[in-house]
Structure 1
Amino acid sequence: MRQWLYLGGAIGLEVTGTLALRAANDHSAWIALVVVGYTLSFVFLSAVLREGMPIGVAYGIWAASGVTLTALLAALLFGDALTWVMGLGFAVIVAGVLLVELGSHQAEPRRSTPQGAHNEAEEAR
């Protein structure tokens, strides 16, 4: 459960940093929030990985959510364009991330054998 909280934090901080980057075009003081937002986003993303979420899943959700939320909020805050084609793109991104997430649950975890240890195949010889 903690990994999802960290991931939510990473997404929120990345979106905040990106929106501040857009705001910095008008007022350079926003650059401080850009640096803090991106830095803390990566700190939180690192925590997600330490909690055991696969990088493909974590990064996919982080990136897809960031793109979607940033575009939606930029439309509200800055009047950026938002079209049905963009909406279709968001849907495709979300579908792709869901497929990666579902696929990660079907994958068998790799088992590594320490050097010098015998595995069943060697013992059968």
Structure 2
Amino acid sequence: MPWLLLIGAILAEVTATVSLRFSEGFTRLVPSVITAIGYGTAFFLLAQTLKLGMPVGVAYAIWAAVGVSLVAVIGALFLGESLTWVQVAGVVLIIGGVLAIETGGAH
């Protein structure tokens, strides 16, 4: 169950971040509302994940790494943003770091 909540938190955060791009500095109502609701939902679901016992370091590392990776890919595929090989390498390093945090804490 904590993993489903964490996935929901990640998807809400990614949705909010992409909507933030379309809000034009919070001057467009619908993307601005989606941004606010998305971030609120993301933090609520992350809090519920922690309440169910997932360690904060693991939850936050996964949340941040997957979120950054998804936003970078969405930006490159759908928003016309660049994604250089150096940036791809950075995403890979972030994911590797999260895997090290996750596996390093396993007993």
TM beyond 0.5: yes
**What is the distance in 2 between the residues matched to 1:77 and 1:36?**
22
The one-letter code matched in structure 2 to 1:94 is I
Q: Residue 19 of structure 1 corresponds to which residue in structure 2?
A: 18
Counterpart secondary structure, 1:82 = coil
Q: Deviations over 1:23-69 (max 9, x none)?
A: 11286121000000000000000011011110000000000011110
Q: Residue 28 of structure 1 corresponds to which residue in structure 2?
A: 28
- Equivalenced residue count is 105
Q: Residue 110 of structure 1 corresponds to which residue in structure 2?
A: none
The one-letter code matched in structure 1 to 2:65 is A
The one-letter code matched in structure 1 to 2:23 is A
Higher RCO (CA 8 Å, separation ≥ 6 residues):
2
Q: Residue 55 of structure 1 corresponds to which residue in structure 2?
A: 56
For residues 1-125 of structure 1, the aligned pairs below 5 Å read: 2-25=1-24, 28-29=28-29, 30-106=31-107
**What is the distance in 2 between the residues matched to 1:69 and 1:35?**
19
TM (norm. structure 1) is 0.80
Residue 77 of structure 1, CA deviation: 2.1
Backbone CA RMSD of aligned residues: 1.2
Gaps of 5+ in 2: none
The one-letter code matched in structure 2 to 1:100 is I
Residue 86 of structure 1, CA deviation: 0.9
Gaps of 5+ in 1: 107-125
The one-letter code matched in structure 2 to 1:33 is I
TM (norm. structure 2) is 0.93
